[in-house]
Amino acid sequence: MHYWRIAPSARQHLDKTIADAFKLGNTVKVEQAPDGTFAVTSPAHLPYGDSNRHDGVILSVLDRYIPAKGDVHKLANLLDVALKWRSYLVITSHTDQDEGLSWFIHSSDSYATTAEGKADAALEAETDAETETDAEVIDINRG
């Protein structure tokens, strides 16, 4: 998920920011805080993407957290920023054969929580389980 905060003094960049958000997906959500700051949100399949910036516009990309690296301050800072704009977040986990366990932090209405996102996650988990089972069989046969 990507979201941009647009300061009240930077309203002239609202159209450019929404155009940037549409580059990442076909749905864009716009909210406004009591102080007049706009929040433009675009779900994305991966938490990486375009870092276009305009004066007064801040792009916030929700990243992944790797528990094995133990950088809890990065996790806390990421959650602090995200929770200023969302009432709650969703954290999903994924284990990659090369990179190990990662936690992905999403907006509550991001791709990971849609029906399509849940179906993709279930399919991926099923594939991972088959791979783990195959690996266990290989390990047992070697032993």
Q: Are 59 and 40 in contact (CB under 8 A)?
A: no
Residues 75 and 138 in one domain: yes
Query: Roughly how many angstroms between the first and final C-alpha of the chain, as a whole number?
Result: 44
Residues 25 and 82 in one domain: no
Quote the pLDDT of residue 44.
55
Residues 88 and 138 in one domain: yes
The pLDDT tens digits of the residues spanning 19-77 come to: 888 887 777 888 888 888 888 877 654 444 444 455 666 555 456 788 888 778 878 87
pLDDT bracket for residue 124 (50, 70, 90): low
Q: Which of 14, 31, 61 delimits the end of a domain?
A: 61
Residues 37 and 72 in one domain: no
**Tokens at 65, concatenated:** 């957290």
Q: In this predicted structure, which of 9-23, 49-63, 126-140 has the lowest mean pLDDT?
A: 126-140
Q: Are 65 and 85 in contact (CB under 8 A)?
A: no
Q: Which domain holds residue 29?
A: 1-61
